[in-house]
Amino acid sequence: MHVHFLDPYRPRPSLVHQLDPRIKLVLTLSFILTTALMPQGAWPVYILLLAVMISVVLLSELGTGFVLKRSALAFPFVLAALPLVFTGPGPSLGETMLGEWTLRISQPGLERFLSIAFKSWISVQAAIVLATSTPFPQLLVALRAIKTPRLLVAIFGLMWRYLFVLADETLRLIRARAARSGVSAQGEVKPGGSMLWRARVTGGMAGSLFLRAFERSDRIYMAMASRGYDGEVRMLPLPALKPVHWVILGAGMVLFAVLLAIAYLL
């Protein structure tokens, strides 16, 4: 089975992969919402959330290393909350010098920053497990099943498909450039020109990529419209939920509610 490098789906014979996509979508959204509503500094409950997430990762057979490596994507965005460490009120843990400025490390600010970082990290893990255990077309059907607006689902679907169109056009341009480029047998001679010349070539490729992708997307849409496309992605309907699915959904919702209650009681 060929897997495109942009497609995050990884087929596995696991229980998580076999679970109904509607249940996975609702549980994932509920987990992320529960994590976002957790009060800052509720570390015992954070550890319980992490234990739940690790259990799901083990059941999915994706590998903890795979998920943890992908979830590192959240850390660059968490740096936007780094000023909270130095601007929060409360007792100070110390000071550090940055040029002419003296930055005071606030204990509540540090706790808030670490809470945001941890919650973002485990939320990204949940999204990764959902994306890698569920084919994207099934996710679109699950979104429609939970009454997501049709226009929004159509935008998601077209955006996903045009990512592959853009990637294919990019690979064509790279292959064309490689076919027209020469490499000297002398190791000290570098192919290409100056940095300005390389920037000009890259800019020309980017402009050509935009025009080619725009023209191809227009042809694709005309082909879709000629075949009766009206904004609705039609697939075979998902089967009715079984009693075991309702049990799993109810157990997950009860677990999230209990964890949230414990966090606020602590």
Contacts of 233 (CB under 8 A, 6+ apart): 137, 140, 141, 153, 154, 157
pLDDT at 240: 85
217, 127, 133, 68: CA torsion to nearest 10: 120
Q: How confident is the model at residue 48 (pLDDT cuts 50, 70, 90)?
A: very high
Is residue 34 assigned to a domain? yes
pLDDT at 182: 63
Alpha-carbon gap, residue 220 to 232, rounded angstroms: 16
230 and 212 part of one domain = yes
**H/E stretch holding 44:** helix 43-60
pLDDT at 1: 40
DSSP code of 79? G
125 and 60 part of one domain = yes
Is residue 2 assigned to a domain? no
pLDDT digits (tens, 9 = 90+) for 149-188: 888 888 888 888 888 878 887 888 888 777 776 666 665 6
String of DSSP letters for 127-178: HHHHHHHS-HHHHHHHHHHTT--HHHHHHHHHHHHHHHHHHHHHHHHHHHHH
pLDDT at 189: 57
**Number of compact structural domains in the chain:** 2
Q: What is the mean pLDDT of residues 232-254?
A: 85
The more confidently predicted of residues 213 and 144 is: 144
Q: What is the mean pLDDT of residues 117-121?
A: 92
pLDDT at 99: 60
Is residue 196 assigned to a domain? no
